[in-house]
Amino acid sequence: MAKSFSVRRLPGFGAIALATFVMLYLPIVVLVVFSFNAGSSQSQWEGFSLQWYAAAFANEQVQEVSIRSLWLAAVAAGVATALAVPAALGTTRVSRFPGQTMIYALINQPLMVPEIVTGIALLIVVAWLKVHTGYTGMGYLVLAHTAFCIPFAYLPIRARLETLDATLESAASDLYASPWQAFRYITLPLLVPGIAAGFMLSFVISLDTVVITEFVKSAGQDTLPTYMLGQLRRIITPEMNAIATLFLALSLLFVTAFFLITRKRG
């Protein structure tokens, strides 16, 4: 009997897979290892030390931009998730209507357009608003990050809604529940895993984005990624490695939580 096709039996598959993983993860491993270097070299190991982590925690500017990044990511992710819930309901819990596919495409537009294009477009709009309103606060960054994060919150919530049994809501209506009561007591509790996953994914995306922030921010509004970018243009020290390692650990924590929540509920 003929064997079923398996990509693992293709010539060179193992070597190509190994080379891909090495190229992807070797730079990250080197970055993490040299964050514990006792010296300031990025190429010569001089012994194990936590001095660069101590320096990063003692750096007041790092503390300031870290708090700003976490605050911005939490607010943007929260607003994006709150907007994504009704958007997902409006595109899954209704009969098909003309333009539904277009609405779906518009919601996911930030995923299809290069981030640099979105950044330049936001720069033009924000610059015009700053000139005509005189306002230069963090509101622009919140709006920009929220707009960019909406599809990342929308997709897990929509996926969760598509797996829910719609007959539960129909049964609630048969028992004289109003649409709001059916949503509050039936749909929303079942939707919580999708909402949590959407929030965490949006949080990580907002926390990591550099291009949008670089184009929209005003003076004194650096986030941790833009601060690190500015420092790397001047000098590269293991302190940046330490900050990047902590940043990586936080991102991995949220991505792992997202994976566990979606897998468990799935």
The verdict on 135 and 28 lying in the same domain is: no
Cα dihedral 232, 114, 198, 71, rounded to 10, equals: 40
Whole-structure pTM value = 0.81
Beta bridge partners of 48: 37
Decide: helix, strand or coil at residue 44: coil
Q: Does 3 reside within a domain?
A: no
Residue 239 lies in a domain: yes
Residue 54 lies in a domain: no
Q: Which two tokens stand for residue 62?
A: 């790092």
Do residues 196 and 82 touch, judged by C-beta distance below 8 A? no
Could you list the residue range(s) of the whole structural domain that residue 192 is in? 59-265
User: Same structural domain for residues 82 and 200?
Assistant: yes
Count CB-CB contacts under 10 A for residue 156: 25
Give pLDDT, residue 266: 47
Same domain for 17 and 117, yes or no, is no
Whether 135 is covered by a domain: the verdict is yes
Do 28 and 111 lie in a common domain?
A: no
Per-residue pLDDT of the chain (266 residues), as tens digits, is 556 767 777 777 788 888 988 998 898 898 888 889 888 877 788 888 888 899 888 888 888 998 999 999 999 999 999 999 998 888 887 777 777 778 878 888 888 888 888 889 988 999 999 888 888 889 999 999 999 999 999 998 988 888 877 777 778 777 777 778 878 888 888 888 889 889 988 998 998 888 899 999 888 888 988 888 888 777 777 888 888 888 888 878 877 877 776 665 54
> Residue 96's pLDDT is what?
73
Count CA within 13 A, CB hemisphere, residue 39: 7
Question: Both 21 and 108 in a single domain?
Answer: no
d(CA 200, CA 190): 17
Domain shared by 131 and 224, yes or no: yes
Of the candidates 196, 193, 202, the residue with the CA atom closest to the CA atom of residue 265:
193
45 and 67 inside one domain? no
Is the same domain home to 36 and 159? no
Evaluate whether residue 1 is within a structural domain. Answer: no
Do 166 and 204 fall into the same domain? yes
What are the helix (H) ranges across 59-114? 60-92, 100-107, 109-112
- What is the domain count for the chain? 2
Q: What is the rounded CA–CA span in Å between residue 95 and residue 205? A: 32
